[in-house]
Amino acid sequence: MASPQPRIGVVTYPGSQDDRDALWALSANDAQAVPVWHEDGELPDLDAVVVPGGFSYGDYLRCGAIARFSPVTAAIVEFANGGGLVLGICNGFQILCEAGLLPGALLRNASLRFVCRDVELVVERDDTPFTARCVAGQRLVIPIKHGDGRYVPPADLDPSQVVFRYLEDCNGSVDDIAGVCNEAGNVVGLMPHPEHAVDPLLGSADGALIFASLVDASRPRAESAVG
Amino acid sequence: MRATVLVRPKQGILDPQGEAVASALGHLGFSVSMARVGKVIDLEVDAADEAAARMEVERMCDQLLANALIESYDVEIHA
């Protein structure tokens, strides 16, 4: 029997934009993609959660600051604290930082300009559930599209929590940090959009490595649920 | 009771908006060596007295209005 497809949720907040692309990217990488609504105070039975990009709640006050109080965000925090796998992309990264699941904050790009183009990333960690299909030092081509992507880490950030770095300075992020994980390693956030790079037709398929890694890591949970 | 919250980018945090403003003021002929851009939040708060209002607004700042990693805040209560 083929191993069961893991169930991976994608949250839609008011103002989310990339939820459908994330659902598609997960389906294309052998996951059962499950839409999750922002008003849901409880998550359905899931093996992992993706918090997608966009402009949740208009990005009022600070990016991600209002989404943090959404019923579904409380459920995601509980899921993550229980060891559940959570991937935050762009606005999702900002929300996870505001919710305290990831260290640091994301501020206005140093250029004050919205940046939308492919960039090269370096994979710093290949031992997370989100990067196991990569090799440390590997370069990935993945697009960025954000106005508030300048990562500022807390003073005590453990350098081993840096998962991705930009190969060039594209938004003023401290130490060119593009993505980080929490201390336990079950939550990762990044500004670039792997869901927009899952097929050569999109200009790059490198983002599929991240989704395929997540699907690999989620599968044992799905299998143990089946018994 | 009316309260005003001033939120500022913390010292050491790059403020490109402030830099752009300082540069624009320079173009207008003003001599400005530094500008930092923050936010003003005006609130109408139900509170028994000034001290209670201040405590309440400081809790709001800690929980939502400011991000302590990157921003500092000052609270003014208008009696």
Tell me what the mean pLDDT of segment B35-43 comes to.
Answer: 97
- Per-residue pLDDT reduced to its tens digit, A17-40: 999 999 999 999 999 999 999 999
What are the residue ranges of helices labelled H in chain B? 16-27, 50-60
CB atoms within 10 A of CB A70: 22
Residue of A nearest to B7 (CA): A61
According to the model, what pLDDT value does residue A4 have?
A: 85
**CATH number of the domain encompassing residue A193:** 3.40.50.880
According to the model, what pLDDT value does residue A165 have?
A: 98
According to the model, what pLDDT value does residue A2 have?
A: 60
A1 located within any domain:
no
Which residues in chain B have their CB less than 8 angstroms from residue A172's CB?
A: 14, 16
Angstrom distance (rounded) from CA A67 to CA A223: 32
Q: Which structural domain, as residue segments, surrounds residue A117?
A: 7-226
Query: Are A65 and B64 a contacting pair at CB < 8 A?
Result: yes
Query: Are B64 and A111 a contacting pair at CB < 8 A?
Result: no
Interface of B with A in 38-77 (CB under 8 A): 64-65, 67, 69-70
Could you give the C-alpha distances from B68 to A34, A88, A105, A120, B11, in angstroms and in order?
35, 21, 10, 31, 12
Please tell me the least confidently modeled range out of A9-23, A212-226, B15-29, B60-74: A212-226
Calculate the average pLDDT of chain A.
Answer: 96
Sequence-ordered list of residues with C-beta below 8 angstroms from that of A127, at least 6 positions apart, any chain: A185
User: For chain A, how many structural domains are there in total?
Assistant: 1
Treating both helix axes as pointing N-terminal to C-terminal, what angle do A207-226 and A19-28 enclose, rounded to 10 degrees? 70
Sequence-ordered list of residues with C-beta below 8 angstroms from that of A105, at least 6 positions apart, any chain: A62, A97, A98, A151, A152, B67, B69, B70
A2 located within any domain:
no
Query: Are A152 and B16 a contacting pair at CB < 8 A?
Result: no
- Per-residue pLDDT reduced to its tens digit, A102-122: 999 999 999 999 999 999 999
A113 located within any domain:
yes
User: For chain B, how many structural domains are there in total?
Assistant: 1
Tell me what the mean pLDDT of segment A146-155 comes to.
Answer: 97
**CATH number of the domain encompassing residue B28:** 3.30.1280.10
> B61 phi and psi, to 5 degrees?
-65, -45
- Per-residue pLDDT reduced to its tens digit, A175-224: 999 999 999 999 999 999 999 999 999 999 999 999 999 999 999 877 87
**Residue A92 confidence (pLDDT) above 90:** yes
Query: Are B67 and A105 a contacting pair at CB < 8 A?
Result: yes
Q: Which structural domain, as residue segments, surrounds residue B48?
A: 2-78
Tell me what percent of the residues of chain A surpass a pLDDT of 70: 98
According to the model, what pLDDT value does residue A147 have?
A: 97
What's the pTM value of the predicted model, to 2 decimals? 0.94
Query: Would an 8 Å CB–CB cutoff place B17 in contact with chain A?
Result: yes
Query: Are B16 and A61 a contacting pair at CB < 8 A?
Result: no
**Residue A5 confidence (pLDDT) above 70:** yes
ipTM: 0.88
- Taking alpha carbons only, the member of A18, A34, A15 closest to residue A145 is A18
3-state SS of A69-119 is: HCHHHHHHHHHHHCCCEEEEECHHHHHHHHCCCCCCEEECCCCCCCEEEEE
According to the model, what pLDDT value does residue A226 have?
A: 64
Tell me what percent of the residues of chain A surpass a pLDDT of 90: 95
According to the model, what pLDDT value does residue A221 have?
A: 77
According to the model, what pLDDT value does residue A222 have?
A: 75
**8 Å CB contact between A48 and A218:** yes
Sequence-ordered list of residues with C-beta below 8 angstroms from that of A181, at least 6 positions apart, any chain: A102, A125, A128, A130, A161, A163, A187, A188, A189
Query: Would an 8 Å CB–CB cutoff place B16 in contact with chain A?
Result: yes
> A151 phi and psi, to 5 degrees?
-80, 130
- Per-residue pLDDT reduced to its tens digit, A27-78: 999 999 999 999 999 999 999 999 999 999 999 999 999 999 999 999 999 9
Query: Would an 8 Å CB–CB cutoff place A107 in contact with chain B?
Result: yes
Q: Is the dihedral of CA A118, A211, A7, A179 positive or negative?
A: negative
Chain mean position to CA A139: 18
- pLDDT band of residue B61 (cuts 50, 70, 90) is very high
**Residue B64 confidence (pLDDT) above 60:** yes
According to the model, what pLDDT value does residue A12 have?
A: 98
**8 Å CB contact between A48 and A84:** yes
- Buried residues in A183-205 as b, exposed as e (16+ CB within 10 A): eebbbbbbbbbbbbbbeeebebb
**Residue B79 confidence (pLDDT) above 90:** no
DSSP 8-state class, residue B37 = -
**Residue A1 confidence (pLDDT) above 70:** no
Nearest CB to A105 within list B16, B64, B69: B69
Which residues in chain B have their CB less than 8 angstroms from residue A65's CB?
A: 64, 67
